[in-house]
Structure 1
Amino acid sequence: MDKVWINQGDIILISLRDFQDDKADVILKYNTEEARNLKAYGELPESAKINETDTFQGSEDELDVEFDIDEI
């Protein structure tokens, strides 16, 4: 498997480890078009900016995005 660099502002899919709750693995790095589709489908907050370093704008509460791995 090739290494893929993750930068600030990238949209990624992670998987929490069953045996280590405090660790996760990066499953996929979405390209710009895929990230736009995720936003259009309502999978990303409206405040998400695609292809920009500052990815979210809003209050501090909006920056905490929780994922339920069972829903994926």
Structure 2
Amino acid sequence: MFDKMLQRIWVTVEKLLEYAQVIKMLGNGRLEALCFDGVKRLCHIRGKLRKKVWINTSDIILIGLRDYQDNKADVILKYNADEARSLKAYGELPEHAKINETDTFGPGDDDEIQFDDIGDDDEDIDDI
């Protein structure tokens, strides 16, 4: 009995959640996303994510569908590139999904850039 109830809840959750890829940032906490079910939706970034999680074009996100508005949804979660690769490996994302590579930088990733200090001679401000 309990297993059937959990299974029914899981089916309901599956119907209300969808993976999507950000197409365009619209501003004012809104974005346009192409869901992997083939529908383009206008998504609202909820308050918990605003100014804490920065979402960019081509990011993979999890959205909550609205049962009363099929063309609108709410952004629930943003996946980083590693999480998106894992989802793709598990078969949750389709093979044609392109994963954003812009957020792969971590601490210490400076691409071996070195700066030279070439301005050693101090100029007197009165000489200028």
TM-score normalized by structure 1?
0.59
Question: Is the strand fraction higher in 1 or 2?
Answer: 2
> What is residue 11 of structure 1 aligned with on the other side?
60
Deviation at 1:52, TM superposition (A): 4.2
RMSD of the TM alignment (CA)?
Answer: 1.9
Measure the CA separation in 1 of the matches of 2:83 and 2:74: 19
Measure the CA separation in 1 of the matches of 2:75 and 2:63: 4
Picking from 98, 102, 116, the partner of 1:49 is 98
Structure number with the bigger relative contact order (C-alpha 8 A, sep ≥ 6) is 1
**Unpaired runs of 5+ in structure 1?**
54-72
TM-score normalized by structure 2?
0.36
Picking from 26, 31, 37, the partner of 2:86 is 37
**Unpaired runs of 5+ in structure 2?**
1-47, 103-128
